[in-house]
Amino acid sequence: MTSRQFALRATAAVAITLTVSIAIRWNAIGYTGWFNPDEAELLAAGRRAAMQVWMPMATSSANTYLVLWPTTLGLLDLLGVPMSLRTAHTLSTGAYAAVIAMVWIATARRWGFVRTAVFIVPAAYWMLARYSDFFQMGSELPSVLLLVVGAVLAFTPGRAVSARRLAVVAALASLAPWFKVQSGLLAVGLVISACGFAFLSRDSVWTRREWTQRLLLLALGGLGPTAVLLAVMAVGGTLDLFWDEPVEFLRAYLTHNVKGLGYGLGETTAPLTEKLRGFVVSVLTNAFAFSWALLGLVALWSGTRNQAGRLARIAVWSIPMLAALATLLVMYPIYVHYLNFLFAGTAIAAIAAAGLAPAETIPDRGPSLLARRLPAWALLTTMVFLLAAVEHQGASPAPPAVAHQDEEDIAALCPRGSSVFVWGWAAELYAYYDWRPASRYVTYGLLLAKTPNQGHYRARFLQELTDDPPTCVVNAIGPAWFGDDAAATPLENEIPDTGGWLHRCYVPNRVVLRPAAAPEPELIDVWTRRSDC
């Protein structure tokens, strides 16, 4: 196949992938509710970050997602992209389509588009249609995209990896945790696998100077982005905020420090046997994630008679998948959206196999071997799915978008573009009504959790609202469909220093809010600012 023919087929593959993805997810793209409250929090954080988008942590906070996610969404907001849930679901569909297309094209460079499609379809369909949690704009998606792009750059069939290209791969991998810190193990796995591929595909024995050059460039690529981000925050005066908020939260979370988190850890501290059982069930239930890596295994196993070379290639191929599995085990309990890392690990392995496979690709006996293995693989995965699906069901649909009844119209009280503070776990209200968050704390998580740093967070919050008072303060507590403790206290009771300020400068309004399908409406308080205050 000529380069022109391959380019045309690759373009067709992108068009097919995007069209099928949109068709499968058409209803999800148009859905105005959330599939997971995390995506609503991300949208609000991005809207807030747009206020000082070039300075991470200046106006927005972070937790298990780090500073580059709000910064990226803030840039989109400045470009006029609406921070709505439809936008979130569109970005999600585009991200999954991009991952699928990259895997398909990268593996087709070695084995052709038709043969690889047989192995890509099961994993692709599982990603696009199995879980409603995958319909959301998951916090893992930018990290997954960066790592898959890195794999495409690292594993080029028939081409040795240059030192500069390896440094670029390391830079992309180092950026991934700055979107979602849990991607760190998978990022390390990609770099190790890429280094292994570079060693196996070298044209000649490296001299000491070449070793030194490669190691220095690899270190520069791996550490450079982190050093730049830390330096930017240090110069901008936000480094202390970074240590005080996401780093403190992550330190408590990863060390299972109940005092540092301010709430119980539940399944996180479950016995090891229970964790292993849940881990095994999650992996077996999602066995289709391994389908696009299977062709690579067949090719690597049957493509050479050199036993040492075969085992070395299989080891490099397996590293990303092992890193993904280790990520899931460490992150237990395994929330559905964490499975993005499993699909990312197997996708990287599939791309790696295309680069690692010997020049003869699948030899003459390969197709017949492949044909014999296909029915067994299909039967095995079907049985695994049927058995595991009994225990592991997909995420239930989210509640519909909030509708309001007209005692006092919340949209009239707090118009589009208003500065609003929402007290509660209801960041979706910012998206529903197109409000600008008045505080870096778009949910009350850090403000409510009784941690050693709670005083810092509350003082920072009070300063924000004093410097730039919001148009409205919404007490979004009580209704169970906001997804948190219905017994939580109102803002003026939980943070007494706000009581006098609220009663002096704001007028309380009782507003009826409810999801369209809820049996009974519920009242919440909306405080609107007086014109003379």
Question: Can you give the pLDDT at residue 400?
Answer: 41
Question: Can you give the pLDDT at residue 388?
Answer: 42
Question: Can you give the pLDDT at residue 292?
Answer: 87
Question: Can you give the pLDDT at residue 262?
Answer: 54
How far is Cα 143 from Cα 148, in angstroms, rounded to an integer?
9
pTM for the structure as a whole: 0.88
Dihedral (Cα; 194, 325, 93, 445), 10-degree rounding: -120
Low-confidence ranges of the chain (pLDDT < 70): 1, 255-270, 302-308, 358-408, 483-488, 514-519
Question: Can you give the pLDDT at residue 341?
Answer: 96
How far is Cα 503 from Cα 520, in angstroms, rounded to an integer?
29
Q: Which residues lie below 8 Å from residue 174, measured CB to CB, with a gap of 6+?
A: 187, 221, 222, 223, 224, 225, 226
Token digits for 245?
């908020």
How far is Cα 491 from Cα 449, in angstroms, rounded to an integer?
14
Q: What is the 3-state secondary structure (H, E, C) of 350-388?
A: HHHHHHHCCCCCCCCHHHHHHHHHHHHHHHHHHHHHHHH
Question: Can you give the pLDDT at residue 484?
Answer: 59
Q: How many CB atoms lie within 10 A of CB 238?
A: 18
Helices (H), 140-207: 141-154, 163-175, 184-200
Token digits for 171?
């830079």
Question: Can you give the pLDDT at residue 403?
Answer: 46
